[in-house]
Every structure is written in C-alpha cells, then in structure tokens.
C-alpha cells in the first residue's frame, strides 16, 4: 500500500519580483478591496491595474455595489486578450483581520479553480485607506495562505477522471514583500488540515485499521517520527479489551499506533520537563453502530469517524516543520465497528487496558471505549504532562453547538483557555462545556467500575456524560477532551470549509503545541 497523498494543491508563494510587473502573465488577477469607514477602498495594485486597463474603478465599484466584505468576489469588465488576464477580480478583504484574510483566501481559491497561474496582493501591507503600512501582519499572512490552500480543495475522485475545472489552481503568486516565515507557517498548517481531510475522505473499503496503521508508518518515516504498531495478537496479549471488543465483529482487525515527535537534540525519555504531551485520536475507520445498528442515512458519512485519529496523525507529521519544542506522543486506537458473530453486546462487561471494567450500554458509543484503552496505556507507560483526546464522539455535541464549534471539556482552566485561544487563532472554533458533577452518577454501574453510556435515567447530556466517562481514564493528569462530531464534517462549502471531511482539529492542536 501507499500512504495517501495530499492530491493537487496550489503552489502558494511570494513572487520573486513586484506584482505590478507580473499580473499580465496570469490567468486570474485578484486585487484587494478593503472595507473602509467611508466605503470600499481599493489597494495600490487595484488602482494601478485599473489605470493600465483604462477602467473607472469608482464607477465599477458603484455599478457592482461592491462592499469589500471578506470573501466578496467582483469581476471587472475586462475583455481578455494579449497581455490581459482571462479574469480580473476585486477580492474583498474586510478589515484585514486574520479571519477576514482566511475567508478572502478561500473565496479566491474557489474562484480560481482550474487555472494555472493566479496573482494577488492578498495580505500585502496596506493601511485602511490603501496607503502602504509599516509591514504585513504575520497572523493575517498565515491565515491568507491557509485560506488559499484550503478553500479550493474537494475530495479526490476515485475511479473517475477529475474535472479540470474543479482542481485547485496550480500556482498562486503573492506580494514579494510578504514574510517567508509566515507563508511557510501557513503552508504547514494547511498541509496538516489537508492530510486529515484526505485520510477522512478515503473510502472504508480501503481504509481498514491495518491500512491506516501502515499509512501512519509511512508518514512517520517521512516526518522523522518514532512509530510503533500493535496488531490484534499483541493487543490481546497486553489486555486492550476495549479495542478488541469494538473491533471483534469485523473481519478487519484492530490496531493501535504510537507516533512520537522529539525536538532536535532531545533523546531523553521519561521525567521532569521531558514528560510528554499526549494526543489521542479516535480512529473508528467505519461505524455501523454495531448491534445498535445505525439508520442508513446516519451510516453514510461514517468513513469520517476516524477524523480524530486523522487530525492527530497530521499534527504529529507537522511537528518538526513548525518547530514544536515539546516531546509529543500521538496515539491512534483503530477499529472498525461492524456487525458480526463476534460483535460485542449491550450488557457485556469489558476489561479495559489497566484493569478497569466498563459495562456496555450502547454498542454505537464505541469511540469512548477505544479512547479509554489508549488513555489508560498512556497514563501507565508515558507519565504524561497533559493528555488531549479528540474524537467525533457524540451527536449531542452537534445538537448543542451546531456544525462549526467543537465541544471542549477540561477541569483545568489554564488548559481550557489555551486550547480555546488556539482554536480562535486557527479559525477552528471550540466552546468550553461544563463537566457537571451532578451528572456523574449517570455512569455508575452495578456490575462494573463504570458504565459506558447513559440509560433512560433522565440525565440526558450525552456529550457531558461521555466526557465524564473519559475523565475516568485520564489518571488525574491534566486532560482535555475535544468532541468534534459537529465540525469534522460539513454538508456545504463555507469559507475555507469544504463539503465533506473538514480536517478540523489539526490547526487548532498545532497552534496550541507551537506555544508550549
């Protein structure tokens, strides 16, 4: 097998010379239009290009009712010809904030699909009146590059010829004065998100636990990570009862993958400041619901139920590129929750890794069971400084917060605040939810240490009680849980979010790790 590639992505980079001398060689030219206090304000390049093309820019803005809002694309009335691009547009950038820049970049990426060369002054230094500013805002440059790389992506076609007009633009040239480090940082974060999307988009007839484990091995070799893989025999020998139970009904046997990033020069295992940050990603490569089988409509998107594992793998792969200075371990518990003669049943009592027992109530609440094994292993063998798990865990989270916010749980205020700030900076929103102690009795069991899910007891709060279950396996360490069931998938394109798997969580976690 071969690891999934990121498919076609634009070559986004600063041009070697000023854009004023390059724009005529492009197929698409996107000229920025900010949203000033007295109306839309064209940037310097827009004024210059309009003058060369003989356009009355003020009249065009009035006729097209352009506002400069982020992501607004207004086509200028230009007939293509010798030395004139096929398409010249005004690109709304709002106030130029990072969010505005990311949305503008995504809009341009969609408008430029199928084109070979695009030139834009997006993120170029400019004040609100279009005059030159002291310098570009690094956060906005990063965000603009993320939008340009993410906005034009669509799931790769399999067995079909890709339409040329749906592929991302081949080359996007930016202002030559943009800081290279900010551009490269944006590229690395976008690449992590794209990798997570490609993994989630891979059909489950290909993406078995074994395939995912081998893909992780290849990614680890390319990224300089340590890697270790448990097959079903080793899982059984070492007592990973949760993974084995969830994967027992499938012909595709479960796996556990450990990936490890160590900063350059760091080869010390174990103690003190070298205690690792541990990321655990739910890796259900397909979820039928088990014996609690899902309705057909609910089962269709379940190839993306490993989005947490895809995000963690993508983050580990990017750690060296973005200069993460902490030891980071990623754990991917991988299983297929299928229906078979060996499927686990409601009423079963599972012995998780480390010996704690879990009463099964709902076989469709399998993600927390495999996460519990991996978290318990991390606590026993790694002595982690902090544990963060990320999972498409509960429909309850998306009912409460919709499809654009993850539910964030942590008993540690500082950790929750840091993850929330990283989410906002990355453009991936998370909302802190309460760990309600009054709901803890909902996971008490008369036959095991803990009950896997709530019964018809009147508690409700399915996302909160799932987080309370996971807390039981965090070993008292600093811990946070990200329930990404809502934002991991999207039914429509919106800004940098595609229709289909979104890769949510990769940029959030990378932003957080960069600042440790």
Task: From the candidates 47, 69, 275, 294, give the one annotated as an active-site residue.
Answer: 294
Which tens digits make up the pLDDT trace of 103-152?
999 999 999 998 889 999 999 865 444 444 455 689 999 999 999 999 99
Which tens digits make up the pLDDT trace of 243-268?
999 999 999 999 999 999 999 755 44
d(CA 102, CA 269): 39
Q: What pLDDT is attached to residue 126?
A: 58
Q: Are 191 and 149 in contact, with CB atoms under 8 Å apart?
A: yes
Which tens digits make up the pLDDT trace of 256-302?
999 999 997 554 444 335 899 999 999 999 999 999 999 998 888 89
Whether 16 has a pLDDT exceeding 90, the answer reads no
Q: Are 261 and 312 in contact, with CB atoms under 8 Å apart?
A: no
Whether 21 has a pLDDT exceeding 90, the answer reads no
Our answer to whether residue 65 is catalytic in this structure is no
Nearest 5°: phi and psi at 453?
A: -150, 170
Our answer to whether residue 511 is catalytic in this structure is no
Secondary structure (H, E, C), 441-499: HHHCCCCCCEECCCCCCCCCCHHHHHHHHHHCCCCCCEEEEEECCCCCEECCCECCECC
Question: What average pLDDT does the segment 171-177 reach?
Answer: 92
Tokens for 266, please give them.
Answer: 């760091």
d(CA 187, CA 195): 12
Tokens for 506, please give them.
Answer: 């990769």
Task: From the candidates 117, 327, 368, 489, give the one annotated as an active-site residue.
Answer: 368
Whether 79 has a pLDDT exceeding 90, the answer reads no
Whether 310 has a pLDDT exceeding 50, the answer reads yes
pTM comes to: 0.92
d(CA 479, CA 349): 26
CATH number of 192-514: 3.40.630.10
d(CA 408, CA 422): 12
Query: Is 11-177's fold the same as 192-514's?
Result: no
Q: Which CATH number fits domain 11-177: 3.40.50.150, 3.40.50.300, 3.40.220.10, 3.60.15.10?
A: 3.40.220.10
- Residue 135 Cα distances to 85, 143, 175, 218, angstroms: 28, 16, 12, 40
How many residues are present in the chain? 516
Q: What percentage of the chain carries pLDDT values higher than 90?
A: 73
Tokens for 396, please give them.
Answer: 């309850």
Contacts (Cβ under 8 Å, ≥6 apart) of 345? 291, 360, 363
Domains of the chain, by residue range, sit at 11-177, 192-514
Q: What pLDDT is attached to residue 169?
A: 83
pLDDT band with cut points at 50, 70 and 90 for residue 168: confident
Kind and range of the H or E element at 331? strand 328-337
Number of neighbouring beta carbons within 10 Å of residue 271 = 8
d(CA 509, CA 418): 10
Which tens digits make up the pLDDT trace of 447-501?
999 999 887 556 778 999 999 999 999 999 999 999 999 999 988 889 989 898 9
Q: Are 313 and 330 in contact, with CB atoms under 8 Å apart?
A: yes
Which tens digits make up the pLDDT trace of 428-445?
999 999 999 999 999 999
How high does pLDDT run on average in the chain?
Answer: 90
Whether 161 has a pLDDT exceeding 60, the answer reads no
Q: At what angle do helices 307-322 and 180-201 cross, to 10 degrees?
A: 160
């Amino acid at each position: 097998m071969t690891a999934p590639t990121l498919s076609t992505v634009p070559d986004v980079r600063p041009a070697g010379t000023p854009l004023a001398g390059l724009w005529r060689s492009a197929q698409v030219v996107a000229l920025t239009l900010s949203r000033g206090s007295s109306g839309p304000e064209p940037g310097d390049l827009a004024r210059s290009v309009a003058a060369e093309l003989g356009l009355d820019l003020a009249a065009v803005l009035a006729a097209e009712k352009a506002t400069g809002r982020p992501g607004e694309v207004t086509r200028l009335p230009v007939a293509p010809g010798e030395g004139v691009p096929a398409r010249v547009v005004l690109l709304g950038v709002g106030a130029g904030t990072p969010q505005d820049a990311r949305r503008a970049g995504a809009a341009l990426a969609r408008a430029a699909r199928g084109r070979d060369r695009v030139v834009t002054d997006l993120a170029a230094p400019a004040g609100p009146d279009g005059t030159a500013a002291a310098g570009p805002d690094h956060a906005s440059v990063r965000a603009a590059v993320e939008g340009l790389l993410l906005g034009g992506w669509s799931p790769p076609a399999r067995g079909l010829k890709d339409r040329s007009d749906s592929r991302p633009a081949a080359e996007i040239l930016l202002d030559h004065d943009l800081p290279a480090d900010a551009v490269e940082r944006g590229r690395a974060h976008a690449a992590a998100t794209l990798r997570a999307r490609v993994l989630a988009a891979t059909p489950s007839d290909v993406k078995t636990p074994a395939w995912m484990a081998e893909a992780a091995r290849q990614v680890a070799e390319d990224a300089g990570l340590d890697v270790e893989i448990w097959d079903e025999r080793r899982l059984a020998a070492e007592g990973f009862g949760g993974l084995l139970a969830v994967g027992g009904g499938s012909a595709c046997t479960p796996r556990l993958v450990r990936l490890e990033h160590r900063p350059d020069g760091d080869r010390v295992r174990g103690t003190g400041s070298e205690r690792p940050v541990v990321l655990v990603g739910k890796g259900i490569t397909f979820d039928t619901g088990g014996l609690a089988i899902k309705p057909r409509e609910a089962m269709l998107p379940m190839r993306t139920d490993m989005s947490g594992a895809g995000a963690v793998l993508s983050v580990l792969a990017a750690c060296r590129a973005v200069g993460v200075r902490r030891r980071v371990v990623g754990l991917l518990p991988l299983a297929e929750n299928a229906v078979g003669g060996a499927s686990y049943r409601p009423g079963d009592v599972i012995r998780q890794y480390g010996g704690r027992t879990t009463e099964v109530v709902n076989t469709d609440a399998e993600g927390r069971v495999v996460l519990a094994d991996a978290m318990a292993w991390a606590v026993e063998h790694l002595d982690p400084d902090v544990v963060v798990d990320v999972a498409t865990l509960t429909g309850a989270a998306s009912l409460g917060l919709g499809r654009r916010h993850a539910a964030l749980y942590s008993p540690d205020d500082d950790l929750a605040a840091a993850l929330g700030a990283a989410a906002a900076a990355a453009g991936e929103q998370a909302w802190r939810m309460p760990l309600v102690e009054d709901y803890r009795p909902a996971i008490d069991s008369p036959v095991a240490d803990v009950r896997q899910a709530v019964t018809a007891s009147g508690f409700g709060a399915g996302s909160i009680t799932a987080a309370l279950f996971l807390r039981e396996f965090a070993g008292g360490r600093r811990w946070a849980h990200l329930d990404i069931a809502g934002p991991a998938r999207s039914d429509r394109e919106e800004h940098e979010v595609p229709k289909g798997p979104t890769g949510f969580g990769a940029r959030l976690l990378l932003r957080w790790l960069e600042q440790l």
